[in-house]
Structure 1
Amino acid sequence: MNATANTAEQQLPAVSVIMPILNEERHLREAVEAILAQEYDGPMEVVLALGPSADRTDEIAAQLVAETASADKRVHTVPNPTGRTPAALNAAIKASRHPVVVRVDGHAALSAGYIATAVRLLEETGAMNVGGIMHAEGTNAWEQAVAAAMTSKIGVGNAVFHTGGQAQQADTVYLGVFRREALEQQGGYNEEFIRAQDWELNFRIREAGGLIWFSPELKVSYRPRPSVKALAKQYKDYGRWRHVVARYHSGSINLRYLAPPAAVCAIAAGIVVGAALTPWGFVVPAGYLAAITAGSVPAGKGLPLKARAQIPVALATMHMTWGWGFLTSPKSLAKRVIASRRPAVLASN
C-alpha cells in the first residue's frame, strides 16, 4: 500500500502558481501563505509578477522570496513595468516552468486542498482549464456588505462562480488552473484586454476544442474592495470591458449583462420624467430602491446590523457603475481590441 501511494505521489505533476501583483500590501502575505500551506506532494513554485506599486508590496514580496529561498516551495519574482494584469500574467507564465499553471490574485486566498483538487479535476475531465467559486469574504462591515452583495443573485444574477452550482462545462471560470500546453498553444493572454482577459483566453481555448470546467469543489476566498469609490471603479471597469467583449464576440451577451445598463437608463428616465412632467416618474427609482432593500434582507442573513445596513449601498454601487461603464464604453476601445484579435490555435496532429 505504501509503495503504491508513493508511486502516485511521484506522478503528481509539478505546479507553477502565477500571481499578478500591484498594490497588494494588505493581502499579499496571506495570499502567498495560503498557497505555500497547500497539501500538495508534487513540486511547486510561486511566481509574483510585480507591477509599479505605491505601497509596501515590493518589500513584502522580497521578504517572501528570502523566507522561501531554501524551501521546497519557493517564491520568486518577475517585473511587470506596465502594471497591467494580462502583461503580468504573461510575464509570470514565461518565467514559470511547470506543466500545470495556477492563477491566483494578490487579494485572494486558496482554500485547503485547492491545488490537489484542481489537478485531479484536470485529469478526470480532460479539461484545459478548471475553476470554481469566487467566495467573497469581508474583514469589516463594508467589506462584509460587499461580499454579501457579490454572492447574491440580486447582486450578480446567476453567475455560478459567484453563487455556486453544479459541476459543469463553462464559458469561463474564476482565475483558473490550466494545462500549460493550452496557454502556450494560444500564446497566453491578449494584453489589450485590461479587464475580461480570462474570458477572452477561455474563448480561444474553447474555439480550439478545449474544455473549460467549473466545479464547486474549488473555492477561493476573495477580499472585496475597501471603499465605495474603489468598488465603483472596479464595477465601472467591469461594465466597460463587458461591452468590449460583446462587440468582440456578439454571441456572448445575455440578459444578465443587459440588466444593469437597462436599470441605469430606466432610473435616469424616471427621474427626468418625475422632475419635469409627473411625480409618477419617481416610481421607477423608488421601485429599484425598494427591490434592492428587500433583496438585501436574505443576502445579509447572519451578518451584523452595520453590515446589513450597507448592502443596499453596495448593490446600488455595483449595478449603477457596471451599467454606466457598459453604456459609456467607447467603440474606439472595442475597435482597438478587435484589431488585436488572435484566432484560436488548433493543436497540431
Structure 2
Amino acid sequence: MTQDSLPGVSYVIPVLNEARYVEGAIRTVLAQNYAGERELILALGPSTDDTDAIVQRMAEDDPRVTWVRNPATDIPAGLNRAIEASRYPIIVRVDAHSELEPGYTRRAVETLDRTGAVNVGGLMNAQGRTPFQAAVARAYNSKIGLGGGQYHGGSVEGPAESAYLGVFRRDVLFEVGLYDESVRRGEDWELNLRIRAAGHTVWFDPALTVTYWPRESWSKLVRQFVATGAWRGELVRRYRGRNPWRFFVPPLLVVSVIASVVLGVLQLTGVVSGWPSLLASVVYLGPLAYLLLLCWVSFVSERGESARDHWLYFLVLPTMHLAWGIGFIGGLLRGARDVRDTSRTDV
C-alpha cells in the first residue's frame, strides 16, 4: 500500500477508573508510526478517580482524541458506543492497561491487506512495575499461567481462534452485530467465534506486540479471575462443543483440591479407612502433581531474580488458576448472570 492509499484508522478504548494507565495508553496511540488518517475514541464509564479529567485534558490538547459516555460500565457496551461513533474503515481495539508498539498499526494494516483476514492480533507482552505485578505478568506470559493461547507466546503466524485486542475491518463488525453486550467477559472470544462462523478469517501475527499492565493487588487479581472464569463458564453453556480443552483444566484442579480436602478430613476422623481409604487416595495425585509443577516452574524453569520473585510467582499461579476455576464452576452451574469484574470499579 502507498501512503495515499492507507485506510483511516479509529482506535477505541473503554475506560473505567484507569487514572494510572489511561494517559500512557493514549500517548502510545497518538505516537503510532502510521501516515493514514487517525482518530481515538474513548468510552468513559462512571469513574470515581481522575480518569475523565485526564481524558478531557488530552482531548483538548489533540483534536484526534474524543470520547463518548458508557453509562452501562461494561467493556462490550463501551466498545460498541465507541465503534458506532467511529468514522474510519479500520478499528483498532486498545485496552486502557495496554501500550502499543510504534509500528503496531502499520504492521496490522499491512497484515490485513496481505492475508485478507478481517481481524488480526498479536502478542500480549505483560509487564510489571512492582514485584507483585511483575509476578502476575510472568504468569500471563507463561504457557502454565494462562493456558498457552497463541497470544501468550505463539511464534507461528496463521489463522487463529481469537485475537488479543484486535485490528478489525469495521464493516465486518457491523455485519456480525458488534460485541454481544450480554457477555461481560470473554467478549473477544465470543465475537471472533461469530466472525469465523460468518466465513471470515481471524489472523495471528507474532510481529504485533502490545504491552499489558496486569492488576496490581491480590484482591483485584482474584476478583478479575473469578469474574473471567464465571463468564467462561457461561460461554461454555452457550456454545457447547466449541471451547478448547484447556478451559476445563482449572475447574478440574478446583474439584480435585476440594475432593482431597474432604477425603483428608474423612480419613483423619476414621470415617474412611482400610482398603477404601487406600483406593480413594488416588484423588491426591492431581493436587500433588500440580504442587510439583508449581515448584518446578517457580524455582527452576521460570525462576525470577530473587527469592521473593520465586515465592510470589509460586503464590500468584495458584491464585489465578483457582480463582478462575471457582468462577468457571459457578458460571457453568448457574450461569454468569450479573457477575461483574469489580476489580475495575475501585481505585
Settle same-fold status: TM greater than 0.5.
Answer: yes
Aligned pair partner of 2:313 in 311, 314, 320? 311
| Aligned match for 2:177, one of 176, 187, 204 | 187
Paired with 1:120 and 1:101, the residues of 2 have a C-alpha distance of 14
Aligned to 1:90: 80
- 1: CA distance between counterparts of 2:301 and 2:72? 38
Question: Aligned partners of 1:323 and 1:89: how far apart in 2?
Answer: 27
Is the counterpart of residue 297 in structure 1 residue 291 in structure 2?
Answer: no
Out of 52, 55, 66, which is 1:58 matched to? 52
Partners of 2:185 and 2:237 in 1: CA distance: 14
Provide Cα deviations, 1:286-308, integer angstroms capped at 9, x if missing partner: 54333212212356445444223
Contact map agreement 1:109 1:222 (CA 8 A) in 2: yes
Gaps of 5+ in 1: 1-6, 337-349
Gaps of 5+ in 2: 269-276, 339-347
Equivalence for 2:109 = 119
Aligned equivalents of 2:249 and 2:117: distance in 1?
Answer: 31
The reply to whether residue 101 of structure 1 matches residue 95 of structure 2 is no
Provide the identity percentage.
Answer: 41
CA distance in 2, matches of 1:63, 1:307: 38
Decide whether aligned partners of structure 1 residues 216 and 297 sit closer, same or farther in structure 2, where only a CA change above 3 A counts: farther
| Alignment partner, residue 153 of structure 2 | 163
Separation in 2, partners of 1:334, 1:88: 19
TM-score (norm 1): 0.89
Aligned residues: 326
CA distance in 2 between counterparts of 1:95 and 1:235 reads: 31
The CA deviation at 1:203 is: 1.1
Specify the SS of the correspondent of 1:329. helix
Give the secondary structure class of the aligned counterpart of 2:162. coil
Distance 1:144 1:326, change over 3 A: same
Q: In 1, are the aligned partners of 2:253 and 2:286 still within 8 Å (CA)? A: no
What is the TM-score when the length of structure 2 is the normalising length? Answer: 0.89
1:33 and 2:27 correspond:
yes
Question: In angstroms, what is the RMSD of aligned CA positions?
Answer: 1.9
The superposition leaves residues 45-95 of structure 1 with CA deviations (integer Å, 9 ceiling, x where unpaired) of 0000000011110011011101113xxxx1001000111101100000011
1:152 aligns with 2:146: no
Note if contact 1:300-1:311 (Cα within 8 Å) is conserved in structure 2. Answer: no
Report the equivalent of 1:178. 168
Contact 1:16-1:47 at 8 Å conserved across structures:
yes
Measure how far apart 1:137 and its partner are: 0.5
d(CA) in 2 for partners of 1:51 and 1:205?
Answer: 27
**Aligned partners of 1:287 and 1:157: how far apart in 2?**
17
Which amino acid is the alignment partner of residue 117 of structure 2? A
Contact 1:22 1:52 (8 Å CA) reproduced: yes
Please say if residues 297 and 303 of structure 2, whose CA atoms lie closer than 8 Å, have aligned partners that are also in contact.
Answer: no
Residues 298 and 38 of structure 1, relative CA distance in 2, 3 Å threshold: farther
